[in-house]
Structure 1
Amino acid sequence: MVLRACGFIIFRRLVGRIPSPGNIEYLLLQTSYGEHHWTPPKGHVDPGEDDLTTALRETKEEAGLGAEHLKVIKGFVQELHYEVRGKPKEVLYWLAELKDPGTAVTLSDEHRDYRWAQLEEACTLARYKDLQDTLRAAHRHLEACQDKQ
């Protein structure tokens, strides 16, 4: 059986700057277990729960950011496939903007730290190629959206 998880690539625009992809920071959480890797908020789908509801619930639980704090960006969803302890896992990520860049992040016990990071630092923290590719894809999507405005 495949483990399924869902979450958000959350970004904020730096305050007081002209909107551009260079003024974007991504939220990564550092786990309090294992190798203390950095990851966007995500978690396992509960029985009977749809994927987007899971992403919203897990983001609220892990980072204290609820649906009222986020604007989901249309047209972006990434699906990752990898193994965890020899078992297949798939993770879906949507892209969401933090409506108020000053909103505080409140961590659960699952995480010991968080960081807002621009793209290259976020990719360095992320370490895993598929997550780095997802962050870069999110950034390209935001650049394409910016170009249309």
Structure 2
Amino acid sequence: MAKRAAGFVIFRRIEEQIQYLLLRASYADFHWSSPKGHVDPGEDDFTTALRETREERYLEEDLIIYRDNPQILNYNVKGKPKVVIYWLAQLKDPNKEPTLSDEHTEIKWLSKDAAKDLVGHKDNQDMIEEFHKLILSV
């Protein structure tokens, strides 16, 4: 059975710019990703996404969450399948900065292209691109 994780691709609008929040993991390959975490037993994906986001100091009321268009990533970690579901979420107050948990070492707010470059993985890049199209359509 695949491990499951869930989170939000959080963006903010600074004047006319759209910026994406990325966090650098404090473990393994120190990769960059949107806030996410493993689904705990008895927890649904969306509850996991909210819990993980709270760890970065954002509450549900801080966000406009687009629940109708989740993106699901399927990949392998150390040869084992993993499924990660992301929802798009806009930060209502673009000046509210996250607080790093011990799971992360750095944060960055980046343009779409810079975010895609930093995450590196094609499925993650495609997800950012799809969410960017959604942002431009709303």
- Aligning the two structures, in what range does the TM-score lie when normalised by the shorter sequence? over 0.9
Counterpart in 1 of 2:109? 116
Matched, 1:136 2:129: yes
Residue 112 of structure 1 aligns to a residue whose secondary structure is strand
Counterpart in 1 of 2:77? 84
Q: For the residues of structure 2 that align with 1:59 and 1:74, how far apart are their CA atoms?
A: 15
Residue 116 of structure 2 aligns to a residue whose secondary structure is helix
TM-score normalised by structure 1 residue count: 0.89
Aligned residues: 138
Q: Which has the higher Rg, Structure 1 or Structure 2?
A: 1
Letter of the structure 2 residue corresponding to residue 56 of structure 1:
L
Pairwise CA RMSD of aligned residues? 1.0
Matched, 1:93 2:86: yes
Counterpart in 2 of 1:41? 35
TM-score normalised by structure 2 residue count: 0.96
The gaps in structure 1 that reach 5 residues or longer are: none
Q: Quick check: which one's strand share is greater? A: 2
Residue 41 of structure 2 aligns to a residue whose secondary structure is coil
The gaps in structure 2 that reach 5 residues or longer are: none
Measured against aligned partners, the alpha-carbon deviations of 1:40-96 in whole angstroms (never above 9, x if no partner) come to: 0001111111111110001111x2211121110243200000001111000000000
Percent identical pairs in the alignment equals 51
User: Structure 1 segments of 4 or more deviating over 2 A?
Assistant: none
Matched, 1:30 2:32: no
